[in-house]
Every structure is written in C-alpha cells, then in structure tokens.
Copies of this chain bind each other. A is one copy, B any other.
Amino acid sequence: MARPPTSRDLARLAGVSQATVSRVLTNNPKVNPETRARVLQVLKDANYTPNALARAMKTGRTDTIGVFMTRVTSPFHAELLDEIGRVLSSTGLHMILWNIEHDPEETVAEVLHQRLVDGFVLTSATYDSKLHTMALASGTPTVLLHRGIDELECDQVVGDNWQGAYDAGKYLVDHGHTDIGLVTLVHTGNTSRDRDLGFRAALADAGVKIKPSNVVSVGVPHADGHAAAEKLLSRKKPPTAIYTVTDLLAFGILDGARAVGARVPDDVWVIGFDNTEMAAWESFDLTSVDQPTHAIVETGVNLLRQRIADPDRPTETVTLPCPLAIRGSTANRH
C-alpha cells in the first residue's frame, strides 16, 4: 500500500495551494464557493482523509478521550462502557480505554503527559487512587462518572446512591421487614459508602435496628455475595430480606440462597443496586435500584466537552435520581 495522499498532493491536483485545501477541510469561510467545490471533488475522488496525527499536533486537539475503568466483565461496568462508547462516538470522539487493574500507575502517569487525549473519563474513582489527583494535576479536563469524590474540584456525574439506598430500605420496612441483612462493600468511594449509609438511614428513620450479625462486608465478586448469603441464611433465624450494594453481589446472594435452600421471595427478599439488564432475567428477577446509566454518561460527556472548550469554567457535580425497579425477588406481602 502506497503512502496515503497528503493535503499537498491534493492541492497540486486541484491546482490550489495546500493552505486552501486545509481551509476547505476546516470549513474556513474564507474560501470561494467555486474553489471549495472543486477541492471537495478532488478530495472525494482521492478518498482522502486528513492525517489525524499531524492535525492533532497542530491544533493540540486529538478528538480522543481517555477512559479509565475497572472490571469490564462486571455487568454494570460493561453496560457503562457500552454507553460511554455510544455517546462518545455519536459526538465524533474516539475512546482510548485503559483498565486500571492491568495498567500500572506509572503507565497512567505517562499517558497524562503524552497529550494523547483531550480529556479523561474516570468511572472508578476511589479515595486512595491517585488517578484523579494526577489527572487533575496534569490540567487535563476530567470528569468522574458513576463514582464521585466529595469536595473534589472536578466535574462529576453520579447517581443519587444515598437516596436510592434510602428508598430501598424504606421499601423493605414499609413492607413489614424488621430483620434485614446488609451485604456491603468496604467504602472505597462515595458510591459504596452512600449505598450503605442511605440504607441504614432509612431503617433508622423507621426505628428498625440492624443487628450487627446481619451486616456482612465483602469484596466485589459474585462468589462473595454467594458466601455472604450462605452465612446469613444458614443461621437458625435468618433475616427476611437482604439488601446489597451491587447487582453482581445480589446475583451471588440469589445463588447462595438457592444453595442453602432458601426461597426468594418466600423466605427472603433480595434487593440489588444498578438495575443491570441481567436483573430482568428470569433466573434473577431482581428488584434493584436503577442507575440512569444513559443520563449519567450523556451528562458527563457533555460536561467534559464544555470543560475542554473552556477549562476555566466552574466545576459541576450532577446527581441523578435512582428509582427503585421492583421485580419478583421482592413480593408484596400484604
């Protein structure tokens, strides 16, 4: 394959200067309509596409966004990624994806300096990750999606995890539950924290106490939910409902319940968080707090684009409601 044609080649073909070709490409109004038409025709005939690298070097804009994620195989994260890809591409932006579980932080640090991207999307911000710190320090426009950090001078778009969790808790006590299990994650960020605290607040407001033995703190995998359910449900007097902070854990809990012979929802209600597509599968039929993934991503990418256009604008934190999606894993007892 020969070297791709350059704007200079086409300029010669069209009988104009390279500058004029460039003006046509950038929709510069200062070009005669006739000339423009002629150049466009030549461009089309040659099936020309500008060299993105040269353009980026000149303009300083790459039209590429760096996306940092974790655990792409987790259902919610996969849906989030899918949505990010859709929104970015519909905006004409490319996506470079990094999995921060695989990439050492040094790699990440390099990327920040390379000017490979116009901005960053971080979906897995944790208190102790240096990622957002480095990103912000580098001056690169950055938006936090799904997981936020309080008081951080950074655009953020998150679901209202606290409210969603509160509503889930209220829903349970409203339906007469008083012996409730809570399978929670170590608080590594706002998200897991609020999904825990909001739930506890709802129970506290209703005067329902959570027995310490009903609280299990676990890691993220499905197997951890499974184990937690076995632990909670194999007691002599198991809780009548279990709430957990992600769908993935909820799926594990449903599996664990099945393993110990507990029926859902007859013996135990189960509520998850994220409302992933899989929650609607018959195997799970999981009541879950919905995360407005599409709105989160759309809003976040918009904020990011605005910041790229104007780096000095004030930061915004957007919080979107998380309504409860009720399914068969909880059933009206009354």
Known: A82-B99, A85-B72, A99-B86. A115 touches B53 (CB 8 A): yes
CB neighbours of A96 from chain B (8 A): 64, 94-97
A179 at the interface (CB under 8 A from B): no
Q: Closest B-chain residue to A94, C-beta based?
A: B96
A56 at the interface (CB under 8 A from B): yes
* Size range of the chain A interface in the assembly: 35 or more
CB-based contact A57/B64 at 8 Å: no
CB-based contact A72/B81 at 8 Å: yes
CB-based contact B73/A86 at 8 Å: no
CB neighbours of A49 from chain B (8 A): 110, 113-114
A90 at the interface (CB under 8 A from B): yes
A233 to chain B minimum Cβ distance, whole angstroms, is 13
Interface residues of A in 80-136 (CB under 8 A from B): 81-82, 85-86, 89-90, 94-99, 102-103, 107, 110-111, 113-116
In the assembled complex, the Cα of A282 lies from the Cα of B277 at a distance in Å of 19
A144 at the interface (CB under 8 A from B): no
In the assembled complex, the Cα of A79 lies from the Cα of B78 at a distance in Å of 10
In the assembled complex, the Cα of A95 lies from the Cα of B107 at a distance in Å of 13
Can you report 19 residue pairs joining A to B where beta carbons are below 8 Å apart? A47-B113, A53-B56, A53-B57, A53-B62, A53-B114, A71-B82, A72-B81, A72-B82, A85-B99, A95-B97, A222-B281, A251-B281, A254-B283, A255-B283, A256-B282, A258-B282, A258-B283, A259-B282, A283-B284
